[in-house]
Amino acid sequence: DNLRRELIANVSHDLRTPLASIQGYIETILMKEEQLSAEQRRDYLNVILRDSENLNRMVHELFDLSKLEAQQITLNNELFSISELVQDATIKFKKKAREVQVELTTTHEEDAMMINGDIGLLERALGNLIDNAIDYTPEGGTVHVSVTANDEVLRLSVQDSGVGIAEKDIPHVFDRYYRGGKKKTRRSTSTGLGLAIAQKIVELHDSKIYVTSEETKGSEFYFDLNRAEVSVS
């Protein structure tokens, strides 16, 4: 019951904030329509668009998380290269990293490191970890995505030089909406659900995301996936 009440309170707050902003800017445009310059009107509309996109993203992520928690997601498993996963997940964040002056780098082998899983869901999980790392890394910092391997498993790691996480907060970082004492380095569009969604996706692949961190010295999130046996004809 406490968790349910906390979730409802957080959802209500996060939905109310963009809705209030949208309403306020629309009211301003309507009341001061003849006084606003074209530039001011465009700025207000851009804010409305941004808050609408955030609201839409939040609703979709709440829906996706509820399906993941109810195990209503069917995996579309296929054989694919781990380097393909890393490339697809990181390329989407190159622009964001560049805009906030964070260096995003990768290390992965181009050989036959194959896994069997849902590449779409795993790309989303890895992407959520990358996005989170960028949000908590100051200008001039680094985010590094790497793959290491042994005979049985492949380990995917996202390591950043960001603000780090207090030891007392580490056990809760995958809780929905948990904020603790953690502070982003810049305004973020995060819904607070990304890490929870990533953990649920990885759990569907019989694994778990782990985190090591130290305040002011950055964090590392990582998880292991079983290597797939590839027959050689």
Integer Cα distance of 85 and 109 in angstroms: 12
Mean per-residue pLDDT of the chain: 85
Q: Are strands 142-149 and 103-107 parallel, antiparallel or unpaired?
A: parallel
pTM (global) more than 0.85: no
If DSSP states are collapsed to H, E and C, what string results for the chain? CHHHHHHHHHHHHHHHHHHHHHHHHHHHHHHCCCCCCHHHHHHHHHHHHHHHHHHHHHHHHHHHHHHHHCCCCCCCCEEEEHHHHHHHHHHCCHHHHHHCCCEEEEECCCCCCEEEECHHHHHHHHHHHHHHHHHCCCCCCEEEEEEEECCCEEEEEEEECCCCCCCCCHHHCCCCCCCCCCCCCCCCCCCCCHHHHHHHHHHHCCCCCEEEEECCCEEEEEEEEEECCCCCC
Q: Does residue 83 carry a pLDDT above 60?
A: yes
Q: Could you count the other beta carbons within 10 Å of the beta carbon of residue 193?
A: 21
- Residues 164, 182: Cα–Cα separation, whole Å: 8
Query: What are the phi and psi torsion angles at 155 (to 5°)?
Result: -105, 125
- Note whether 145 and 106 are within 8 A (CB): yes
Token pair, residue 122, equals 């795993």
Task: Please give the average per-residue pLDDT across 156-184, as a whole number.
Answer: 82
Of the candidates 150, 176, 173, the one whose C-alpha atom is nearest the C-alpha of residue 220 is 173
Give 87-146 pLDDT, tens digit per residue: 889 999 999 999 999 999 998 776 668 899 999 999 999 999 999 999 999 999 999 999
* Per-residue pLDDT reduced to its tens digit, 36-70: 999 999 999 999 998 888 788 778 877 778 788 77
Which carries the bigger pLDDT value, residue 208 or residue 16?
Answer: 208
pLDDT reported for residue 187: 44
- Percentage above 90 pLDDT, the chain: 51
